[in-house]
Amino acid sequence: MINLNRYTLITGGSDGIGFELATIYAKNKKNLIIVAKNENKLKYVKAKFENEYGISVEIIQCDLSVDKGYEKIIEVVEEKNFTVDNLINNAGIGSFGFLHDLEDGLEEKIININIVALTMLTKYFSRKMIERRQGGILNVASTAAFMGGPKMSIYYSSKAYVLSLTEAIHDELKGLGIRVSCLCPGPVKTSFQEKAGIKKSEKSKRYLMDASDIAQCAYREFARGKAIIIPGYKNKLLILGNKLIPRALSRRIILKNNS
């Protein structure tokens, strides 16, 4: 039985990891609110999920990388009186190169989408969830959150913020009936890396995980209320190994890999 007014909201749900998460929720008969920039892709995904799974799909076209881009999401949800059971802050962008070489304004776009939009949506929807004493928030960071990342400094530091914020909120909302998890994937086979200008060697391409495997792991562990979700044993080992070595060595390895 589908509850018509209750939704799972996924930013960046039209492609990559977000699309795979949306597919799992759709298969589980959860209505979806999908947010992305490209309207044609959104319309395609809406028709596909509604036809294949008989759920209701709302789409919100907005650019989360611009100042206050997230406000459109809140306006639509308020106007249509939707109840958001699960918020998945998945949309994110990256960049490649030294900070001083980055095209002006790109750092601001990354901060707007990866940090500001995620924070404002988390705050807004957590208040609603607290009123109902029910809900879940899944924020997507990266294994990059655990280390300093020369040549991807803004991206790595934005994900460190996401991890730190999400861990804190996990504990703040515990006991109020709200699950909060931070998903930290390693490299994934999506168009993200290409869009960010990251060039991968043939060897490193072998370590890319499938977005569908990431989504399945995230769905399972989020349902259990796990604070930090690291998909794949190689990524778990990477994080463990990174804790055991000096941070200066970790940065040197990343700079070498990014050169």
CB-wise, 109 or 179, nearer to ligand NAP? 109
The distance of Cα 204 from the centroid of its chain, to the nearest Å, equals 22
Stretch that binds ligand NAP, among 22-30, 86-94, 127-135, 170-178 (CB under 6 A): 86-94
Torsional sign, CA 222, 225, 229, 233: negative
Residue 185 interacting with ligand NAP (CB under 6 A): yes
Facing residues of 10 across strands? 34, 88
Question: Out of 110, 120, 138, 140, which residue is the one contacting ligand NAP (CB under 6 A)?
Answer: 140
User: What are the tokens at 241?
Assistant: 């190994």
Q: Please confirm, yes or no, whether 156 is among the known catalytic residues.
A: no
Alpha-carbon distances, residue 114 vs 5, 106, 107, 111 (angstroms): 28, 12, 10, 5
Stretch that binds ligand NAP, among 11-19, 73-81, 95-103, 129-137 (CB under 6 A): 11-19
In the complex, what is the shortest distance from the CB of residue 8 to ligand NAP, in angstroms, rounded to a whole number?
Answer: 15
Alpha-carbon distances, residue 108 vs 68, 113, 157, 191 (angstroms): 12, 9, 13, 21
With contacts defined by CB under 6 A, how many residues of the chain interact with ligand NAP?
28
The residues, ordered by sequence, that sit 6+ positions from 237 with a Cβ below 8 Å of its Cβ are: none
Contact track, ligand NAP, 29-68, x by CB under 6 A: -------xxx--x---------------------xxx---
In the complex, what is the shortest distance from the CB of residue 196 to ligand NAP, in angstroms, rounded to a whole number?
Answer: 8
Alpha-carbon distances, residue 238 vs 26, 202, 203 (angstroms): 32, 20, 17
Contact track, ligand NAP, 187-216, x by CB under 6 A: xx-xxxx-x---------------------
Closest by CA to 214, choosing from 21, 22, 26, is 21
CB-wise, 37 or 251, nearer to ligand NAP? 37
Residues taking part in catalysis: 155
Binding site for ligand NAP (CB under 6 A): 12, 14-18, 36-38, 41, 63-65, 90-93, 113, 140, 142, 185, 187-188, 190-193, 195
